[in-house]
Structure 1
Amino acid sequence: MLVFDADDTLWENNVVFERVIDDFLKWLDHPTLDRTQLRAVLDDIERANAVTHGYGSKVFLRSLRECLERLRQRPTEAERREIDDLAMALVAHQVELMPGVADALDELAGRHELLLLTKGEREEQQRKLDACGLLHHFTAAHIVPEKNVETYRWLAGQHAVDPGSAWMIGNSPRSDILPARAAGWNAVFIPNANTWVLEHDELDPADAGVLHLNAFPDLLRHF
């Protein structure tokens, strides 16, 4: 069984958030904090909100507002509206598949059972799933609030699969690779230069249960 992450594995996602963050930090133009310091403040707020509120554009917008309030103390209504305008890019963004994804999935679906596992706000993730044009390749698509060891154990049980024969394929060490390995799965790491900083983590280069690939179509040489 091959299980695929969605955001930043099947299609681009975080690059849009990064563009909004770039515009936000330029707009802030803080008198004493440089860009690196401002980003650290925002990262801390996002990290806390991810634990409490989950993921997605609504939580991201909340984080931008909290960052503004922390740095400006008493932001004006016009400043709050400016943040809303910046974040509109997330709402208007269309699903853009990663290179080679559609053709590779077409071949892989003829060889293996494919599942899709994505985390985030259900309505937002479902909108992307409906728009991607890929769902016919998958036996099932699961939207979960978090990807942790328990999630992977639950998924293996849900589909009556031996964890040792399952492969999780994704770009996030934190959500796709490490918890899958901890649950006894194999994993395929396909890095994305735009992976969210909070999804970064260290992978053991000696772990034979993790296959490192450069691009999505490289899967066809192994599965």
Structure 2
Amino acid sequence: MPQFPPGQTLLIDADDTLWENNIYFERAIAAFIGYLNHHEYSPAEVRKTLNAVERETILAHGYGLPSFKRSLVTCFERLSPAPIDDEKHRRIVGFANSIAEQEIELLPHVEETLRDLASRHRLILMTKGDHAEQADKVRRSGLAPYFSFIEIVAEKDPAAYQAVLARNQISTHSGWMIGNSPKSDINPALAAGLHAVFLFHKDTWILEHAALSVPPEGRYLIEVEAFAKLSDIF
């Protein structure tokens, strides 16, 4: 595995890279599907409908818990033969609210690895979603001191990466994006001219799945299975 000299700029994803996130959504979805208890559609068919609804909601309202609540309610309305009443609405919203009650659970060896990396490189946290929601997670994680800057963007696309590069004066020759999502962390970062490290997470959100892009000439794409392995690269 190649090693790179001090002075790199490492953009690092947050959800499911630094701490657990999607597992809580999956638990809420499982509870929702059990509550719906639909006799006409299988759990897989309900999940397929929810995925479609989430794509629509994200386009209209962005990411975060408020959008997830909308998606659960809309999915229920599409699939339930009976109209939603106040009690059903409270129950469905409650599944989403349970996510907000979760403590921040750092992934293995995250803090000590960040401490090590920050001694040699510039670290910038780059996450997407609702600004207040993501900022609160960063605060509760206790990891903010390891980062030179926190970037919270509405979407991670090539334009967003280009803006972050310009705002933080990052050279693409020594700039990296590190994260678990091919769709948001790896492919658009490569398109923006960065190097990338794909950090596998077995519970990555299904809407973030995609084939990894081939890196442009002169750019690296490295795959690792544990956050601690970053110290072997940088």
Q: Verify same fold: TM over 0.5.
A: yes
Partner residue of 2:95? 86
- Is 2:185 aligned against 1:176? yes
Measure how far apart 1:164 and its partner are.
Answer: 2.5
TM-score by length of 2: 0.92
Partner residue, 1:213: 224
Q: Which residue in 1 is equivalent to 2:47?
A: 39
Matched, 1:185 2:184: no
- Residues 110-146 of structure 1 show CA distances to partners (whole Å, capped at 9, x for unaligned) of 0100000010001111110110111101100011100
- What amino acid is aligned across from residue 35 of structure 1 in structure 2? P
- For residues 147 and 206 of structure 1, do their structure 2 counterparts lie closer, same or farther at Cα, with a shift above 3 Å needed? closer
Question: 2:147 is matched with which residue?
Answer: 138
CA contact (8 A) 2:187 2:213 kept: no
Residues of 2 paired with 1:25 and 1:95: CA distance? 25
Runs of 4+ in 1 over 4 A off after TM superposition: 204-208
For 1:93 and 1:84, the matched residues in 2 are separated by: 15
DSSP-derived class of the 1:67 partner: helix
Aligned residue for 1:6, secondary structure, equals coil
SS in 2 for 1:59: helix
Q: Read off the aligned partner of 1:37 and give its amino acid letter.
A: E
Which stretch has the larger CA shift, 200-209 or 7-16?
Answer: 200-209
Compute the displacement of 1:89 (Å). Answer: 1.2
- How far apart are the structure 2 equivalents of 1:47 and 1:20? 17
Q: Show the 5 A alignment for 1:14-163.
A: 14-73=22-81, 74-163=83-172
RMSD: 1.3
C-alpha distance in 2 between matches for 1:106 and 1:64: 39
Q: Percent identity?
A: 41
* Unaligned runs of at least 5 residues, structure 2: 1-8
Partners of 2:100 and 2:170 lie apart in 1 by 37
